[in-house]
Amino acid sequence: MAIELLNLGRVDYLPTYAAMQEFTNQRDLVSSTRENDQLWMCEHPPVFTQGLAGKPEHIFLPGDIPVVQTNRGGQVTYHGPGQVMGYPLIDLKRAGYFVKEYVYRIEEAIIRTLAHFGATGHRVAGAPGIYVRLDDPTGHAPLAQRPKIGATHQTEPDFTGLGKIAALGIKVSRNCTYHGVALNVAMDLEPFSRINPCGYAKLQTVDLSTIGVSVGWADAADILGHKLATYLAP
């Protein structure tokens, strides 16, 4: 069944969060075939969002930017203009795959989006999201820290020479997903210096413009939206 792709434009975070919860909760009240899964693409005014595992000490200078407690996984991150948000609202049971593969598919969609714009995205074992090499954002040499099949417990990630360009934060309720992924396109990155992004001190955050890719928000949202719809399909 196709994923319905909706571009919401710039919307406030709290009403969007509430709408995702409402959409997901309504799925319990009717047949699971009630409607297609949906994928919401949008951007938000400046806001810090804190995950369930979030620690207050990771937000040390919020200033005039609101902090919203959420029920997604992960720690604190920042959302703001120039960042593409993708919120997949998917019934995983119907789609036929589990949470670990869901995360992999989202990351793959981001990697393919970056490749479309000539950049190379990397996974880091134990640190969900997508990263780029600061000194060679278009190079294809694999990271030593990439996830490896059969690997056991990993040491603490080393982000030396890397910049985080996309963050994940998901929630699964009764097999249905919400929250999602943030891809930094062309934004004011200063607010990231007020937090430990995703709970990591000194983790550098970058966007496409930082690594020399000039693309508008609408074009980036269009490519990421279609990549997500493709890679998250059953």
Q: Supply the residues annotated as catalytic.
A: 198
Name the DSSP letter for residue 138. Answer: T
Amino acid at the residue 58: H
Contacts for 39 with CB less than 8 Å, ≥ 6 apart:
3, 4, 5, 6, 86, 87, 88, 89, 225, 228, 229, 232
Q: What is the distance between the alpha carbons of residues 217 and 187, in angstroms, rounded to a whole number?
A: 10
When computed from its CA atoms, the radius of gyration of the chain, rounded to whole angstroms, is 17
Residue that is written with structure tokens 């979030």 in the block: 54
Residue that is written with structure tokens 């985080």 in the block: 164
Residue that is written with structure tokens 């059953």 in the block: 234
Total Cβ atoms within 10 A of residue 190: 10
